[in-house]
Amino acid sequence: MKGDIVVELDEGTYCLTETFCLSGEDSGNNGHNVIYRAVENKNVCISGGKAIENWMLEDSLFVAPVKGLKFRQIYVNGKRAIRSRTPNAGDYYKTKLWDLENKKLMIDANYIKKMKDIYKLEMVMLMKSADAYLRINDMVLPTDSLPFEWLPRYAAIRFCEPEQEMLYNRALASKVDDIPFYFENSLEFIDQPGEWHLDQLNEKLYYKPRDGETIHNLEVVAPYLETLVQIKGALGNPARNIQFKGLQFMHTTWLRPDNKGNLTYLAGQYVSGANGSNQLLVSRPPAAVQINMANNIVIEKNIFMHLGATALDIQYGAGHNTVAGNLIQDVSGNGISIARSSCPKPEMFANQIPATGMETERHNLISNNYITPHWHRFFWVGWHIGRLCKQCYH
């Protein structure tokens, strides 16, 4: 290269149908960069979402077809809507007893006695340092033949696999009484403006409008991509000299909880396996922008907003990268994750250790990013060599 290559994006929303992937072959060289940036003073949105249209009124709810779509968040007129839940936001039920031998959770039967349908129903438990999003397999109400009316009436709940086994096998987050929880994801829970429900069987989205919202002024976006941009090289050919400036990264989702639940762990990670002896397999949710095996990448003065998991993740041999002056707002996971939670342990072959420090994250500058509000961690660092500067959290 004899000079920088600059890709300028004019004002507008660019809806991706797949992740935009960059590798060593897409990199700058000879000291020059490949720069993706917005035209000056223009709003440029890189979106992983789809606009939901063709709304109709049905029994005080707005209903729209969503053929082939799966998602766990929607954004209505630029604001995150509430996935249908009971009790409503700010209130919680409490667990009663744990039957550890039979792997059943006991709750007050009054919480569920009027529920008609448990298909795709989830329980969200706010366990100490580790929340749990659990798909319900079955709920058994007590019989009506108790000898005394004053005896407690408990319903027994079992969860779907694999989260059922992982929940009872992990020692972290003790299974004690009175853990706050709520139920989520049922049409019958919609009773507050701003709540929504996705009926996957009939491929319909239901929404209860807020004041002033009509089917004519409703702008709804449902995210369907998990990662917008992936910058990923290889050990011998890292991605390098790539810059993103002045862009908006919006509308990602994370669908693993739909199929396997989500038992959260420290630093915004999730449990992917547990053997009962406090040994856990942990993994990281996807990020809107993922940087692996990359050097001299610059992520500067961008906006990360309305995201279903992590905003930015840097790991696996990434070095000498700069993340500066970004706004990170309304994300379901971490703001910024950098490095891994364990030190790399390369195998030894014939008294030689390949790769050694090449896979360790090093000398990355994270500076003056504004992060608000968040659901897990503002900023998380694993094994990392180098410096980090002050961030601003709200």
pLDDT given for residue 386 in this prediction: 56
Cβ-based neighbour number of residue 243 at 10 Å: 18
Say which amino acid occupies 248.
Answer: Q
23-32, 45-54, 229-238, 272-281, range with the lowest pLDDT = 272-281
Could you give the CA distance from residue 228 to residue 226 in angstroms, rounded to a whole number? 7
For range 183-191, the mean pLDDT: 96
Mind giving me the DSSP string for 47-90?
E-EEEE---EEETTEEEEE-TT---S--EETTEEPEEPEESPTT
Report residue 113's pLDDT band, with 50, 70 and 90 as the boundaries: confident
Kindly tell me if the per-residue pLDDT of 167 is higher than 70.
yes
| Mean pLDDT over each residue of the chain, to the nearest integer | 88
pLDDT given for residue 21 in this prediction: 98
Report residue 158's pLDDT band, with 50, 70 and 90 as the boundaries: very high
pLDDT given for residue 383 in this prediction: 44
User: H/E element holding 239?
Assistant: strand 239-245
* Backbone φ, ψ for residue 321 (5° rounding): -105, 155
Report residue 255's pLDDT band, with 50, 70 and 90 as the boundaries: very high
Kindly tell me if the per-residue pLDDT of 266 is higher than 90.
no
Is the alpha carbon torsion for 9, 12, 13, 14 positive or negative? negative
Q: What is the pTM of this model?
A: 0.89
Portion of the chain with pLDDT greater than 70, in percent? 85
- The model's pLDDT over 45-61, given as tens digits with 9 standing for 90+, comes to 999 999 999 999 999 99
pLDDT given for residue 174 in this prediction: 79
Tokens for 189? 């829970």
Higher per-residue confidence, 390 vs 172: 172
Q: How far is CA 312 from the centre of its chain?
A: 11
Could you give the CA distance from residue 258 to residue 268 in angstroms, rounded to a whole number? 18
User: H/E element holding 336?
Assistant: strand 336-338
pLDDT given for residue 348 in this prediction: 44
For range 319-338, the mean pLDDT: 93
Q: How far is CA 22 from the centre of its chain?
A: 22
Could you give the CA distance from residue 388 to residue 378 in angstroms, rounded to a whole number? 14
Output DSSP code: residue 267.
Answer: G
pLDDT given for residue 357 in this prediction: 61
Q: Which of 198, 327, 173, 195 is nearest to 253 (CA)?
A: 198
Q: How far is CA 10 from the centre of its chain?
A: 29
Tell me if 365 sits within 8 A of 341, measured CB to CB. Answer: no
pLDDT given for residue 339 in this prediction: 72
Tokens for 257? 């909880």
121-135, 196-210, 334-348, range with the lowest pLDDT = 334-348
12-26, 74-88, 206-220, 357-371, range with the lowest pLDDT = 357-371
